[in-house]
Amino acid sequence: MAKGEIVLGCLAPHPPHVVYAENPEQNEPFAEGGWEALRWGYHRLARKLKTIDYDCIVTLTPHWQTYVGTHFLGLERFQNISVDPIFPNLFRFHHDIEVDVELSEMMCEAAAEAGIVTKMMRNPDFRVDYGTIVSCHMMNPDWDKPVVTISSNRSTHYYSNEVMNDQATALGEAVLKAIEESGKKVVLVASHSLSHRHFVTEAPLPEDMSREHIYNHSQYVWDMKAIDMMRKGEMRELIDILPEMIEQTMAEAEGGGLTWMMAAMGMPDYPAEIYGYQSVIGTGNAIAAWDPNETTREIVL
Amino acid sequence: MSEDPEIVMGLYVPPHPHPLLAPDQNEGWGRLRDAFDVCRQRIEESDADLILIYSTTWPSIVGHQIQAHPKPVFTHVDDDFHFLGSMPYEFSMDTEYANEFKDACEARGLQSRTVAYDGFPIDTGSVVALKLLNPDNRIPACIVSSNVYSNRAEQIVLGKAARDAMSKLGRKAVVVVVASLSNRMFTEYIDPSEDRIHSPKDDEWNRKILEFFSDGRLEDISQLSREIQGQVRVSKVVAYKPAWWMASTMGQHNNYDGEVLAYEALHGAGGAVIQLTPSVGSIGDKEFDEDDVEYYHGDRDVLGQGAI
């Protein structure tokens, strides 16, 4: 069996607004559009994904928050309705998700061998979080590939951003080991935004783009700094300063997604593909991808 | 301001699913369950016609969300403790109160909205509280979220808005706060029989807080909220908000008969079932020197005031 590999890593933010604005048949509310800079970026990334041979999408999501260890989805299928607890007016999504349980178990086992507290989630009534659903839907609206969801251990809350970085790094290295042993080709997804301060009010028409802007300039400057480092392939350096960025901007990377993905990919020193940046209810959202294949790597924006 | 509403009792209960799903796995979890059962019986014997829940496990961002679905039905599973089992529920909500509460929030300057969607994910803490305190839906309920960005002023005003709505509709309410005391859990799996409070420091602070509750000193606990947050609360959110909200909703005083029905560890966190019954005679030694906010006017724009 050939060694498995990571064929793409994606920073894929999950504001439910982008699914809402797409009006897919699975989502109940209707929108007049909105957040095009993000959605068009996602469309471009989804087209690239169609050209890549892969078996599974593995997502680490900050909306499955666990304090006791790191958890992995452990059942083959989840059919349900996902209603966003924060924006239920925008996101009531009927989903039918297939899970690669074999790969999920291998990742869980590899993480446990690395000393990480782990748990397989096998309750059939469990509701898959909307972070997973939004990121996966925008990247693969056909839902024709199985997924694995990994929970976000809240080590930032219990310890510090630095401890989060260390633990997410260990998890990323363990996940890489499992992927290589599986023989599968995997797309990794860090499902989160960059700066993450929200407005606490919402426009009467949520997709009214005249109301949309970043929460403050400080958040914007940090976001641009992060994106610039991604462009330059300075991921080791970005992960090193991530604790400071989280502290300053409430960055959603606090959940470990970016650190985990970069660790699994060996801290890329090649340029990321940037697909878009836009604020959603004040938060800073960038879509970026790391393509290990030099021949298919692009300058998108 | 409106006339004082009739608060039948206040309850402070833990959010973890163990007393509901696994009371037999640990004696302490069983004692918490017994305490829930005592409270259920007391609610049944009261003439309350509303159970109002403030849940720290329902975070919101766009203002304060209020559950208004008349009959929410779903099966809930906890993110961490999914292996303990599922929590199917069907609740009866007081939609009229929810709408009035929302209007009262807006009248006091708060951003607020009701939610009434099939499949809306009611949080673990609210599900546990309602299933144990009101299993037959004898009394209509209402749930309000905990806004992640809100601080003291908003919580105080939110409590006053809850009172406004009670007064206007003439509701006799049981006020329920769903929150831990110390909230640091063990980050590893433990044998249920070996559960204990995470640290002696957490235990010591919990017992001091319980001493205040026993004496009915709710407003004093509210005044100590920031200190409690710094000492025994994991910094998941900016403040220990439930004390502010509960004290405000119940009238901002120390005139209660307090009873701690149980105090136990829940995977390391401090879980207590406490009853406060309005009484007469106040004790305490705290200076109440923070503003008693009546209307919320938003952020003070401190950064903008000093800008060059």
What confidence tens digit (pLDDT) does each residue in A78-116 have? 999 999 999 999 999 999 999 999 999 999 999 999 999
Q: Which residues of A touch B75 (CB under 8 A)?
A: 125
CB-closest option in A68, A83, A281 to B189:
A68
Question: Which of A63, A82, A94, A123 would you mutate first to test chain B, the one with the most B CBs within 10 A?
Answer: A123
CB-closest option in A151, A153, A158 to B184:
A158
B66 domain-assigned? yes
Q: Which residues of B touch A87 (CB under 8 A)?
A: 62
pLDDT for residue B287: 62
Q: Judge whether B252 is closer than 8 Å to chain A, CB to CB.
A: no
B290 — pLDDT class (breaks 50, 70, 90): confident
The B residues from 137 to 156 touching A (CB cutoff 8 Å) are 147, 149
Question: pLDDT tens digits, residue range A219-232?
Answer: 999 999 999 999 99
Q: Which residues of B touch A86 (CB under 8 A)?
A: 59-62
Domain that holds residue B110: 6-305
B113 domain-assigned? yes
B1 domain-assigned? no
B56 domain-assigned? yes
Domain spans in chain A, listed from the N-terminal domain onward: 5-290
- How many domains does chain B contain in total? 1
ipTM: 0.95
- Is A1's pLDDT higher than 60? yes
Question: pLDDT tens digits, residue range B118-145?
Answer: 999 999 999 999 999 999 999 999 999 9
Q: Judge whether A250 is closer than 8 Å to chain B, CB to CB.
A: no
Instruction: Look up residue B153 and give its two tokens.
Output: 């002023």
pLDDT for residue B301: 74
B202 domain-assigned? yes
What percentage of chain B carries pLDDT values higher than 70?
Answer: 95
B266 domain-assigned? yes
Q: Which residues of A touch B267 (CB under 8 A)?
A: 68
Q: What's B197's domain CATH number?
A: 3.40.830.10
Looking at domain A5-290, its CATH architecture is: 3-Layer(aba) Sandwich (3.40)
Give the chain B residue nearest A198 (alpha carbons). Answer: B61
Q: Which residues of B touch A151 (CB under 8 A)?
A: 79
**Do B188 and A154 make contact, defined as CB atoms within 8 angstroms?**
no
